[in-house]
A and B are shown apart, each in its own frame.
Chain A
């Protein structure tokens, strides 16, 4: 008798437990769907509106009749105008040059810095690592006035090459920080094995660390790219002629004449300007997420 009582007593809470587990999972799912739905709408409305506006003619935009969300007479005129507009082509090219060089310079500096800070264990490396992170905390808006002095002293005012010099100051600290994290997660035995196999420090970096830390390098590259492609304050402060401008300032200074906003062209320019980031994110994301360290040591 005592056995049956014990069994019954045990079974009841198990069923209730299962039931509540199922219910709480259901609620969690619903909660997630609602939250994600709100996010998707919030994030996708602006690009959608941008796209709709870019497909309208100036006349349709200024007519202000009907719903602003629908295009009645879609046209690619805005896009065609920009593609054939020499200034816009110039901005695009400048942006590409500045970004590619910034990413290259930043990555070389931060990978080398992170490797030495995380692996070579020299005197003061800990303090330096913290210092690198602290530099990242200084806002760029605080720096652009003193930097103006330096840029002026170098004779690079109104020259987009100054951006190649300045952007790494924004990108390197954070990229280094990401890379220190990735390199630190690589087991110490891996470099010791390579040392014994006959590799020098540069060979360890090139043949072991860079391939193994590829997700980290891609994360840092995306960050450096985003900084360089989207920076607004520095080019606004240091560049003032069309032939030197990059996309961010070029679009607003060229397509806003006085108080006339050429909305269709501005929106089309924004879409064209966001193409490279979209492509890069799309191609690198899978690689970025994939963990490469699996199997190096006991999993």
Chain B
């Protein structure tokens, strides 16, 4: 069990390409941290540097109070689960899990005790004698996790462990990973490009983009208070709507954001102070699809009616996604399936402006 820290960690490849551009990150003991971001954002490189599989160009990595920059992977006391499982094909499930312990010269009965314990947690007991090729994808993934658990390391590292599984199994394994972490409480760093995986698993999520950390926070913080337009757009599915707008005075003396001539949205009083200094400036309005829904006669404070021409209707069962275009910008709303929406007709909607975000168009910072 241990805390992990990155101090100004930079990874530069031959040819001067910087994959990781100075990362500062502190991970507490027992914490489950997920690094999430699009392909090439440096999340896997960061994980591999923590594992010791990739050299650090500059900066420091600390594990359990020691700088490990020059410590080889085997002496870092970490365990890693790979995307493609990386099971030893010629060894049985038992031997795969026992390999690390055998190399570390553990006594035979201790190895057996630990492997049996891990197999019990992961429901692998009937498969211990099988070879990896006789296992399904989900079973292989569990063996890979078992191999990590038996070592009882200071830190677990997961590198996109569920990407190779089909959608149903992925959800199932996600729950299992969470369950395992609740049981063993080992500090865990988990890399994924799937924001739903990140949100469901993490104590804290680290959103990365272009070798930088965009924001670190709990899933709820990232969802409700994104720091940048990138985070706002990356977290949440379907993605947040972004509309160019202008902050101006409303007729009643309050503040409003003008999206088009016909769409002028009053800013809730609670936010007026914060947005006042952006008056007469061009900004970006961010509103999640779930905060744009069917029109209710009995509104709440901060709710505003908006009428938009329907482009496409996507019924999902428990909800219906309706797509619109506002001045050529695509907008999505999440409405009750009972709502009658027909393409090319106007649909009255409620915009919950208590949940709005205003972003600077150049810096992308949420204000």
Contact = CB atoms under 8 A, between A and B. Distances in A.
Interface residues of B, number: 32
Contacts of A200: 74
Interface string B68-85: 000011100011101111
B88 to A, nearest CB: 6
A292 B132 CA distance: 11
Contacts of B103: 197-199, 203
A193 interface: yes
Contacts of B137: 298
Interface in B148-169: 151, 164
A211 B87 CA distance: 13
A198 B106 CA distance: 12
A176 B112 CA distance: 39
B278 interface: no
B84 A196 contact: no
B164 A193 contact: no
A194 B164 contact: no
Contact of A294 (B51, B72, B89, B164): B89
A195 B84 contact: no
B141 to A, nearest CB: 9
Interface string A245-274: 000000000000000000000000000000
B132 A295 contact: yes
A190 B52 CA distance: 15
Contacts of B134: 295
Contacts of A65: none
B88 A190 contact: yes
A196 to B, nearest CB: 5
B86 A212 contact: no
Contacts of A227: none
Nearest to B135: A295
A187 interface: yes
Contact of A295 (B52, B73, B83, B89): B89
Q: Which of A187, A199, A297 counts the most chain B CB atoms within 10 A?
A: A297
A297 B90 contact: no
Interface in A192-231: 192-200, 203, 207-208, 211-212, 214
Interface string B44-84: 00000001110000000000000000001110001110111
Contacts of A298: 84-85, 137, 140, 164
Given A294-B133, A295-B131, A299-B133, A197 B99 contact: yes
A297 B74 contact: no
B277 interface: no
B89 A196 contact: no
B99 A194 contact: yes
A208 B53 CA distance: 18
A294 B90 CA distance: 9
Interface string A271-299: 00000000000000000000011111111
Nearest to A295: B133
Q: How many A residues touch the partner, as a band?
A: 20 to 34
A211 B100 contact: no
B100 A296 contact: no
Given A197-B99, A203-B103, A299-B133, A293 B82 contact: no
B53 A192 contact: yes
Interface in B218-260: none
A292 B133 CA distance: 9
Nearest to B81: A193
B11 interface: no
Contacts of B99: 194, 197, 199, 207
A145 to B, nearest CB: 44
Contacts of B72: 195
Contacts of A211: 90
B108 interface: no
A196 B79 contact: yes
Contact of B74 (A190, A199, A295): A199
Contact of A198 (B89, B90, B104, B140): B104
Contact of B100 (A197, A208, A292): A197
A292 B89 contact: yes
Nearest to B79: A196
B144 to A, nearest CB: 8
Nearest to B103: A198
Given A195-B74, A197-B99, A296-B132, A189 B86 contact: yes
Most chain B beta carbons < 10 A, residue from A189, A199, A203: A189
B207 to A, nearest CB: 26
A214 B151 CA distance: 28
B53 A212 contact: no
Contact of B140 (A195, A214, A292, A295): A295
A197 B78 CA distance: 8
A296 B144 CA distance: 11
B74 A196 contact: yes
A198 B147 CA distance: 12
15 contacts: A190-B88, A192-B51, A192-B73, A193-B82, A193-B86, A193-B147, A197-B100, A198-B74, A208-B88, A214-B90, A295-B131, A295-B132, A296-B86, A297-B85, A297-B86
Given A192-B51, A193-B86, A296-B89, 14 more contacts: A189-B85, A196-B78, A197-B103, A198-B74, A198-B104, A211-B90, A214-B90, A295-B131, A295-B132, A296-B85, A297-B85, A297-B86, A298-B84, A298-B140
